[in-house]
Structure 1
Amino acid sequence: MSKEALWTKSFINIWVSNFFLFLTFYFLMVSLPVYAIHELHGKQSSAGLITTMFLLTAIVIRPFAGKLMQKYGKKTLLVLSLAIFFIVALFYFLPHSVGSLLIVRAFHGIGFGMATTATGTIVADIIPNSRRGEGMGYYSMSMNLAMVAGPFLGLMAINSWGSNTLFLMAVIFAVMAIFTGLFIKLPKTEHTVPVQGEEKKTAKLGGILEPSAIPISIVAALFGIVYSSILSFVSVYADGKGLESVSGYFFVVYAVVMLMGRPFAGRWFDRYGANVIIYPCILLFAIGMLTLSNVNTAFLFLFAAALIGLGYGTLFPSFQTIAIQKAAPEKRGLATATFLSLFDSGIGIGSFLVGFVGDMIGFGSLYFYSSFYILLALVVYYFLHGKAARKSKLINDVPKAS
């Protein structure tokens, strides 16, 4: 029996559009603090708010974006959000103070939060149900590749070509996101009747969160807290270890190993279920953090990157797939918004806490204790999803009477 097509024109377009969205995010995330300090003469503390402000508005808008998507349609919200994202990118040329830059970042975060909610929902409709895990894994590669290319290009632009070139590149990336987004065609989906009592449950949450997605989203947020320590401080940690010459390769190795394992992980997820993938990847993530906590050579540093890339790099798309699968088709927008909002909250809380804890005990100790924290999060996953997933798998595997 032949497989349903995955790499359709619409899937490729949504993949590329999402790539440019996240490329712009990471591109500006690493370069704007440098711009704020050196050209706007801001303090390091105020420069740190540049990312926080962007992420805060993205988190706040996502649940409402999911609700708007149900009312006005996915394609409409996608085009509107990409237009906002592009228009706001033009305003980066104007600020002459950190305060005015923060205002631009706030509005840019709104466009980003809406757009990523739309793309995450639309791709779930485009991917065939029989290849959901595999397809979401490939889709997440767009974000992971942007995470590698964005910081590299951003630092090169601000250090070598200047701020005007930096902002021009951001505008070009935004144009590419909206251009490819316009060519996405949505499949017709069947309307499903909500389960009795589900409407009341959703109403209690204000209609802006999808209840079925909350448990796995909490799990993702717990792991996001640890991952924020990698995003924000692994280069600082490497410099303190005398490994500054290889610190830039951490995410390159992370991405390469993640990409190598992604096809197999996606197929196994579809064939054997979530637990077969998630439990080993949690252990790899914990071992990777333990290895990172005591590195003294470039080899160990990059080996830790490989373990974390294979572990955490597989966990994120697996969690997102679970959140989408558990929701009814017409609730996928809310499920995506719920997942991303709670996950980004974990990243935001982690970024805030990790700086304080790292200053007190050192990043080596922080990474060491993080490996045990990850094992505790494994227990949380078991009770919030893993246990039920195992029972469901056992029931489905029982041979049916002929």
Structure 2
Amino acid sequence: MYTPKFVLICLSSLFFSASYNMLIPELPSYLSSLGGAKYIGLIIALFTLTAGISRPFSGKLTDTIGRKPVMIFGALVCLVCGGFYPILTTVYGFLLLRLCHGFSTGFTPTAASTFVSDVVPRERLGEAMGIQGIAFSTGLALGPALGSFIKLHFSYSILFYSSSAMAFLALLLIVNLKETLPARQRFHLGLLKISRNDIIALEALPPAIITFLSYVGFGVVLTLIPDWTESVGFVNKGVFFIVFTISSLLVRFIAGRLSDRYGRIKVIAVGLALLFIALVLIGFLNTRSGLLIGASIYGLAMGVISPAINAWTIDLSLPEQKGKAMATMYIALEAGIGFGALCSGWYYQETISRIPLIMYCCAGLAFTGIGYIVMVKRNITTKY
């Protein structure tokens, strides 16, 4: 399983993830400094809007022109947008960049996950998705911590240029990959014509629904946790993400292997139960130690859920439409993150006391997911 292709895609996932995640802790205060505090909920919502809109295109292109070109395009978007943040210094210029920046995650992760499924044995797919998730989550952890460090010691401009540098490293690694799609088409504008059949892979709907219910809370975390972290006494707003990701890293490898052995549904159900507990604790324990406990359990939950959902999506996909299936799952992911970010930002309005109720609502969605997956298990008799 540990071929050069697999190692390179994991490393590129790390740098790509770090590129855009290193901005997240500092963007709310940056937007406020521009006079756009009331638009904080749009920081994540706009990003996920274009990411979600672009998923049908990235899925179709992944299955036609190849995995590599789609990954390259997403990394280029990250590189270019990072360089424009210091230039477009108005509220609307910033929001426009967030809208454009979302195309990066709309393209690269779809093709990267499909690429992984091409280069690893089927019986180790869950394990492979877990390892790639470890790489991606390492970027998720190091990015915010590094971003806050750069902002504290340098400036916003250096932070944005550092984001571009991370995207450039990801791009270099992707360029050195060998394409895995056997029968590639040349790109032409006709491929950008999307029909209803290109948008959703119906066979991938069960994991997509679980993804949506799981990631509404993640949109809330991305939007509100920086302020929540500061309110309980931490200076570095990335500390939650560090603990969350370390916890996630510890379990991803094991969770992926367990999903290969015992089935995706059982593992996902355990992850949803952990997610429910974590979100309740984050809202209830409004202290520094409480935040760290909540972050630890939240990391365990997402570390269990993510690789199992990715592998389950590939399991249910048609062989020639793996990109479309992954795009369907990612559409649900972006919809969940965007919905959580937009609704929480609208209700929050910089009132810290409102955060616990928002967390409890997200916990309710996780509990709903448990009920749904129990219902799905009754209708699916295969191992996966």
Q: TM-score range by the shorter chain?
A: 0.7 to 0.9
Matched, 1:37 2:28: no
Tell me the alpha carbon deviations over residues 10-51 of structure 1, each in whole angstroms, 9 at most, x when there is no partner. Answer: 11111111222221111123334433433xx32212354343
AA aligned opposite 1:282: L
AA aligned opposite 1:336: M
Q: Residues 248, 166 of structure 1: CA spacing in aligned structure 2 closer, same or farther, 3 A cutoff?
A: closer
Conservation of the 8 A alpha-carbon contact between 1:246 and 1:298 = no
Conservation of the 8 A alpha-carbon contact between 1:35 and 1:158 = no
Q: Residues 92, 288 of structure 1: CA spacing in aligned structure 2 closer, same or farther, 3 A cutoff?
A: closer
Structure 1 segment 111-190 matched on structure 2, within 5 A: 111-187=104-180
Matched, 1:206 2:197: yes
- 1:204: Cα distance to partner? 7.4
Q: Residues 51, 331 of structure 1: CA spacing in aligned structure 2 closer, same or farther, 3 A cutoff?
A: same
Q: Residues 324, 358 of structure 1: CA spacing in aligned structure 2 closer, same or farther, 3 A cutoff?
A: same
Q: 2:211 maps to what in 1?
A: 220
Tell me the alpha carbon deviations over residues 284-319 of structure 1, each in whole angstroms, 9 at most, x when there is no partner. Answer: 222222333321554443222222211222112211
Conservation of the 8 A alpha-carbon contact between 2:24 and 2:222 = no
Q: 1:282 aligns with which of 272, 288, 292?
A: 272
Distance 2:103 2:361 in 1: 35
Conservation of the 8 A alpha-carbon contact between 1:53 and 1:105 = yes
Conservation of the 8 A alpha-carbon contact between 1:47 and 1:98 = no
Q: Relative CO higher for 1 or 2, CA cutoff 8 Å, sep ≥ 6?
A: 2
Q: 2:326 maps to what in 1?
A: 336
Matched, 1:8 2:8: no
Q: 2:187 maps to what in 1?
A: none
Q: Residues 335, 276 of structure 1: CA spacing in aligned structure 2 closer, same or farther, 3 A cutoff?
A: same
Distance 1:99 1:219 in 2: 34
Conservation of the 8 A alpha-carbon contact between 1:290 and 1:371 = yes
Equivalent pairs counted in the alignment come to: 373
In terms of mean alpha carbon deviation, does 7-16 or 349-358 score higher? Answer: 349-358
Which 4+ runs in 1 deviate beyond 6 A?
Answer: none
**Runs (5+) with no aligned partner, structure 1:** 1-5, 192-202, 397-402
Matched, 1:71 2:61: no
Distance 1:320 1:177 in 2: 21
Q: Residues 374, 107 of structure 1: CA spacing in aligned structure 2 closer, same or farther, 3 A cutoff?
A: closer
- RMSD after superposition: 2.7
Q: 1:195 maps to what in 2?
A: none
Q: 1:363 maps to what in 2?
A: 355
Conservation of the 8 A alpha-carbon contact between 1:216 and 1:381 = no
**Runs (5+) with no aligned partner, structure 2:** 185-193
The normalised TM-score by structure 2 is 0.87
Q: 2:302 maps to what in 1?
A: 312
Tell me the alpha carbon deviations over residues 261-297 of structure 1, each in whole angstroms, 9 at most, x when there is no partner. Answer: 2222111111111133122222222222233332155
Tell me the alpha carbon deviations over residues 131-174 of structure 1, each in whole angstroms, 9 at most, x when there is no partner. Answer: 00000011111222122111112222233211331232122111
Matched, 1:106 2:99: yes
Q: 1:19 maps to what in 2?
A: 14
Distance 2:223 2:49 in 1: 16
Name the % identity: 26
Distance 1:11 1:55 in 2: 27
Q: 1:324 maps to what in 2?
A: 314
